[in-house]
């Protein structure tokens, strides 16, 4: 199968690093679990959208983002099983060099640049399945949909919307096995 895999909060922990940095920079103590929707700035009353959303563009930021446990092993397993694994990430162009060097190829060195697609329009990418925490990337896509639980999608009814909800990489691998049998 062609397996499309999101990057932020699917194979690495962007949200945790982001909140950690905003807290540190502005003396706040917001928590990861407080994020209820896509707008991270909502957990920071008094801070502007720019205050919060320019943080991932700061030099050195991507080197503070850690991989999700099991993601590297999971991706390697999928590749060893003969799947075509492609990372599909919507990221501001300014972040690309650092995000690739300090994060993707640092923790996932078995991936090559030929396996990376940068786009904000994931529905245009052809694949058998997309693994993503962003509902907006899954909805309307012509692929099977695996939704990775994140604080902002916790209340979303994945099943009713034709998606398989998973909580970790073990569950992702199980879901892929089930899709393979279909
Ligand atoms: Mg994501």
The pLDDT of residue 154: 93
Q: Same domain for 102 and 168?
A: yes
One domain for residues 81 and 39: no
Q: Do both 7 and 86 map to the same domain?
A: yes
Asked if residue 54 and residue 8 are part of one domain, the reply reads no
CATH number at residue 163: 3.40.50.1000
Q: State the DSSP string of 70-123.
A: THHHHHHHHHHTT-EEEEEE---GGGHHHHIIIIIHHH-TT--GGGEEE-S-GG
Report the chain's mean pLDDT, rounded to a whole number. 96
Instruction: List pLDDT tens digits, range 76-128.
Output: 999 999 999 999 999 999 999 999 999 999 999 999 999 999 999 999 999 99
Q: What is the pTM of this model?
A: 0.95
Overall domain count for the chain? 2
**Same domain? 57 vs 86:** no
Q: Name the DSSP letter for residue 22.
A: H
> From the CA of 12, how far away is ligand 1's center (Å)?
9
If you measure from the C-alpha of residue 8 to the centroid of ligand 1, how many angstroms do you get, rounded to a whole number? 4
Q: Is residue 148 domain-shared with residue 84, that is, in the same domain?
A: yes
Q: How far is the CA of 72 from the centre of ligand 1 (A)?
A: 16
> How confident is the model over 138-166, as a mean pLDDT?
97
In this structure, are 47 and 122 located in the same domain? no
Instruction: Confirm if 118 and 100 have CB atoms less than 8 A apart.
Output: no
The whole-number average pLDDT for the span 134-153 is 97
- Residue 37 above 90 pLDDT? no
Together in a domain, 38 and 91:
no
Residue 1 CA to ligand 1 centre (angstroms): 21
- For residue 45, the enclosing domain spans 14-63
Q: Are residues 20 and 53 in the same domain?
A: yes
171, 95: one domain? yes
Q: Give residue 26 CA to ligand 1 midpoint distance, Å.
A: 24
Q: How confident is the model at residue 71 (pLDDT cuts 50, 70, 90)?
A: very high
């Amino acid at each position: 199968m062609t397996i499309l895999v999101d990057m932020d909060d699917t194979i690495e922990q962007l949200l945790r690093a982001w909140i950690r940095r905003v807290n540190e920079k502005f003396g706040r103590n917001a928590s990861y679990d407080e994020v209820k929707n896509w707008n991270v700035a909502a957990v920071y009353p008094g801070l502007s959208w720019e205050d919060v959303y320019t943080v991932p563009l700061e030099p050195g930021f991507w080197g503070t983002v850690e991989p999700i446990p099991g993601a590297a092993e999971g991706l390697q397993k999928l590749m060893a099983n003969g799947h075509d694994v492609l990372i599909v990430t919507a990221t501001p162009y300014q972040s690309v060099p650092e995000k690739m060097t300090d994060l993707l190829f640092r923790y996932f060195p078995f991936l090559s640049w030929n396996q990376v697609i940068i786009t904000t329009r994931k529905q245009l990418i052809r694949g058998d399945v997309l693994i993503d925490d962003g509902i907006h990337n899954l909805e309307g896509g012509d692929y099977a949909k695996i939704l990775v639980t994140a604080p902002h999608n916790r209340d979303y009814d994945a099943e009713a919307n034709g998606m398989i909800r998973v909580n970790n990489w073990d569950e992702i691998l199980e879901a892929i096995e089930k899709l393979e049998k279909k």
